[in-house]
Amino acid sequence: MPELPDVVVYVEALEARIVGAVLEKIRLASPFLLRTVDPPLATVTGKRVLGISRHGKRIALALEDDLFLVVHLMIAGRFRWREPGTTLPGKLGLAAFDFSAGTLLLTEAGSKKRAALHLVRGAAAVEALAPVGLEVLDPDLDLETFAAVFTRERHTLKRTLTDPRILSGIGNAYSDEILHRARLSPVRLNDQLDEAEMARLFDACQAVLREWTDRLRREAEKGFPEKVTAFRPEMAVHGRYRLPCPDCGTPVQRIVHAENETNYCARCQTGGRLLADRSLSRLLHDDWPRTVDELENGMRAAPTGAPRRPPTRRRR
């Protein structure tokens, strides 16, 4: 799912191309994309784009007559900038926004179409679509305010970072990177952090998001951002299961839950302790290694050609 750095760069690319331009037409390939009926979609035809803004992970196009087109890309939604009148791609195409200078395509990979388009009237209606949490990169945000909001509800650090009601724009990928930078376990409870750990987390949030926004901005300097993905080789832990941690060389571990996975370094973040993966730990029971040392020793002890299995632990 595109997160804060990706969405910021999308907003900047759109500002350079369509602010001040007239929206000539919207072509919908999927009627399920549009989640509102009033105002009718036809009312935006011929309206000038006045501005682009980010609301969490949503992107809002402000049009004349106080109209707003709000897009949520969800997991697999992407924008493409093409020549005027470009035909929508068959399986991926959801909508085309036609301008005189070019066509903005909205595409979505996969069979589950989750991206959403809302047409609303008034800025208050945009805000009402979903609650938006703290903007971590707000220059006026201080540690005290961050800590107060972050601990308002008791959850794990991973869940708190990715809750859009608490923090704006952070998802699965950058929460992994933030926690690795802060040297904190994803399953640690947010009310268990001491002052130094909370300060580390606050600094890591700002540093990681700034660094990746700048990196993606540089990549998009010569064109429209096309390579929007949550899996990048330059990341420290996200999407790098079994690859070496860039700081200590220990293989990155993961916890899989539904469609999401949490990636972490056991040496850097959990004191060498392996976090229980719901599926594997239930399958292996006592054979599930408790530490990264047990895991590595078990793998080294396996004979050539034999399955690499951690050592058996007896019940007590």
Specify whether 54 is located in the same domain as 99.
yes
Share of the chain above pLDDT 70, in %: 87
Specify whether 113 is located in the same domain as 149.
no
Specify whether 183 is located in the same domain as 124.
no
Q: Last residue of some domain: 219, 243, 269?
A: 219
> 270 in a domain, yes or no?
no
Specify whether 159 is located in the same domain as 51.
no
Q: What is the pTM of this model?
A: 0.88
Question: For residue 32, what are the domain limits?
Answer: 4-128
Which amino acid belongs to residue 155?
H
pLDDT at 160 over 90: yes
> 71 in a domain, yes or no?
yes
Specify whether 103 is located in the same domain as 148.
no
| pLDDT tens per residue across span 199-243 | 999 999 999 999 999 999 999 987 999 889 989 999 999 999 999
Query: Closest Cα to residue 94, out of 172, 110, 209, 83?
Result: 110
Specify whether 12 is located in the same domain as 68.
yes
> 233 in a domain, yes or no?
no
> 120 in a domain, yes or no?
yes
Number of domains forming the structure of the chain? 2
| pLDDT tens per residue across span 235-292 | 999 999 999 999 999 999 999 876 788 999 999 999 999 998 655 444 434 444 567 6
DSSP 79-134: EEEESTTPPPPTTTEEEEEE-SS-EEEEEE-SS----EEEEEESHHHHHHTS---B
